[in-house]
Structure 1
Amino acid sequence: MLLNDKVIVVTGGTGVLGQSFVEGIHAAGGTVCILGRNIEKAEQQAAAIQQAGGKALAVQADVLDETQLETAKKLILDTFGRIDGLVNGAGGNMPEGILSPEEDVFELNLAGMRRVMDLNLWGTVLPTQVFGQALAASASGSIVNISSMSSQRVITKVLGYSLGKAAVDCYTQWMSVEMANRYGDKIRMNAIAPGFFLTEQNRRLLTNEDGSYTERGNLVLKQTPYKRFGTPEELVGALVWLLSDASKFVTGTIINVDGGFSVFSGV
């Protein structure tokens, strides 16, 4: 129960990976605040945790809306009195941030690319800005960002997403040093870089309607030594460790959870 007595905020908590984060934090003894735009789903998740004897709070907010985030912070502090952890789980891709092979590389949808970058970068920076001082006040605050293999390796089509996640890596390292210089070990920042996990956003890219793999799905598996996609639960161990005091001397680190994708040359 590494997260006993810790209050953890999870942005994007109603998504496929976010839901796994929420359940993992609860299983580790943490109090979880499920932050997302879909308040009905967040309330269902919170109710399930409460029925299981845990503590949870559903909070509606858009991670790109600072006013909504401030309102969310007030509600959380009024309810629990503290915030010990933040998981910046909100992010993802959009069709307008994808460059298909048949499209002209010099005719990018710049507005679409910018929207995807905003979601992934500023959707990480803004919650950190809003919740940061409350985290520092806990004396053992931990922020976990969500990176991606696309920040480390060239993955075709997903340019906007790749740019956003590369910026998240830079922000993770830069911010970890700045916070340490100002707050010592009271607050730290790390990131998890997932390999390929099936979510609602990428399922159509990687699998066909009959469940078989697309050409792109097969290419991913060929590059992954484990020869399978990850399951959301396989991110939880790294997440709980980074949120807990067991990793108190760890900051500025990006942990790959990828089945070996990042290290395999293909040969």
Structure 2
Amino acid sequence: MRRPGGGLEEMFSLDGRVAVVTGGTGVLGGAVAAGLARAGARVGVLGRRRGRAEEVAAGLGAEGAEALALRADVLDEGQLRRAREELLGRWGRLDILVNAAGGNVPGAVLGSGEDVFRGLRVGAFREALDLNLLGTVLPSLVFGEAMASGGRAEGCIVNVSSMAALRPLTRVAGYSAAKAAVENFTRWLAVELSRRYGPGMRVNAVAPGFFLGEQNRGLLIGEDGNLTPRGRAVIEHTPMGRFGKPEELAGAVVWLCGPGASFVTGAVVPVDGGFSAFGGV
């Protein structure tokens, strides 16, 4: 991994690097995959639906990037290992892992006015924990092993957390708890890898504020195109007064993965328009 010392462009360059993005078929994951590719990385787009992963990879290829569609469920270690071997067979190395897979589980959200003791479904809560926490832990172990092996011990893992980890969102129980655990795991793994394998192994996270995606659009934007009451509450508590754009998350990830962040590990970077800084008054 090249160290800072060249020009500004070099500090943000990912030329020669190989990355894999779990959840690369989603809105945010796809934007991150595109950002890494535009910075010069070859990118494995990993998702549960091969057809959708192939579409995203083809789109990157049309922009001149090298991209590979990988099919795997982030909760299936065997599928992850097969995807790792496919990627290594193509490019022979792995430098970057972005864990963007995850999301909310409807049953782990209390209905409006629903009582917590009757409405919180433990099975759905566990499903949210598995998807977001284990769906980060397992890829980190499988793909991180490839970075640490072979005497090179250089690589960067970036996990995707959420504002819900810092400020639990009303009614959103399982997802908030899972993302808080993702941040704790991020810091733990950063310490473990640096102490065991050296400073070339780094682990960080980004904590997005509110970006419009497939899962939350209906909660934030009404059928008439106007903000819902919850959407208005979000904007009122976001000093920049708008939702984030997917490419704005990608910019932070590119920085964390590049030489310009070579002394950054164990950090959780908010990308939230000031949401986490605002006290409400």
Q: How does 1:75-94 map to 2 (within 5 A)?
A: 75-94=86-105
The answer as to whether partners of 2:153 and 2:198 remain within 8 angstroms in 1 is no
The answer as to whether partners of 1:33 and 1:57 remain within 8 angstroms in 2 is yes
- 1:27 counterpart residue number: 38
Deviation at 1:135? 1.4
Cα deviation per residue 1:161-216 (whole Å; 9 max; x = unaligned)?
00000000100011110111101112110000000001010011111012100000
**Uncovered stretches (5+) of structure 1, i.e. residues with no partner:** none
Deviation at 1:45? 1.6
Which residue of 12, 18, 22 corresponds with 1:11?
22
2:143 and 2:255 map into 1 onto residues whose CA distance is: 20
Q: Within the alignment, does 1:159 sit opposite 2:170 as a pair?
A: no
- 2:6 counterpart residue number: none
1:52 and 1:198 map into 2 onto residues whose CA distance is: 24
* More moved, 151-160 vs 49-58: 49-58
Which residue of 190, 212, 227 corresponds with 1:176?
190
Task: Say which SS state the counterpart of residue 106 (structure 1) adopts.
Answer: helix
Q: Within the alignment, does 1:102 sit opposite 2:113 as a pair?
A: yes
Task: Say which SS state the counterpart of residue 61 (structure 2) adopts.
Answer: helix
Q: Which amino acid aligns with 1:53?
A: G
The answer as to whether partners of 1:176 and 1:251 remain within 8 angstroms in 2 is yes
Q: Which amino acid aligns with 1:8?
A: A
Q: Within the alignment, does 1:129 sit opposite 2:147 as a pair?
A: no
Q: Which amino acid aligns with 2:195?
A: N
Deviation at 1:140? 2.7
- 2:237 counterpart residue number: 223
- 2:50 counterpart residue number: 39
Which residue of 77, 88, 106 corresponds with 1:66?
77
Cα deviation per residue 1:19-44 (whole Å; 9 max; x = unaligned)?
10111111101100000011111111
Task: Output the TM-score relative to the length of structure 1.
Answer: 0.98
- 1:261 counterpart residue number: 275
Task: Output the TM-score relative to the length of structure 2.
Answer: 0.93
Deviation at 1:57? 0.3
Which residue of 211, 235, 238 corresponds with 1:197?
211
1:127 and 1:229 map into 2 onto residues whose CA distance is: 29
Task: Say which SS state the counterpart of residue 185 (structure 1) adopts.
Answer: coil
2:213 and 2:50 map into 1 onto residues whose CA distance is: 20
Which residue of 186, 201, 205 corresponds with 2:200?
186
2:266 and 2:256 map into 1 onto residues whose CA distance is: 11
1:255 and 1:7 map into 2 onto residues whose CA distance is: 22
- 1:52 counterpart residue number: 63
Deviation at 1:133? 1.6
2:199 and 2:47 map into 1 onto residues whose CA distance is: 29
- 2:5 counterpart residue number: none
The answer as to whether partners of 1:136 and 1:186 remain within 8 angstroms in 2 is no
Task: Say which SS state the counterpart of residue 199 (structure 2) adopts.
Answer: helix
Q: Within the alignment, does 1:232 sit opposite 2:251 as a pair?
A: no
1:154 and 1:240 map into 2 onto residues whose CA distance is: 27
Deviation at 1:52? 2.6
Q: Which amino acid aligns with 1:113?
A: F
Cα deviation per residue 1:102-153 (whole Å; 9 max; x = unaligned)?
2221122000011011100000000011111211245430000001000101
1:75 and 1:206 map into 2 onto residues whose CA distance is: 39
- 2:132 counterpart residue number: 120
1:146 and 1:154 map into 2 onto residues whose CA distance is: 16
The answer as to whether partners of 2:36 and 2:254 remain within 8 angstroms in 1 is yes
RMSD: 1.0
2:139 and 2:96 map into 1 onto residues whose CA distance is: 12
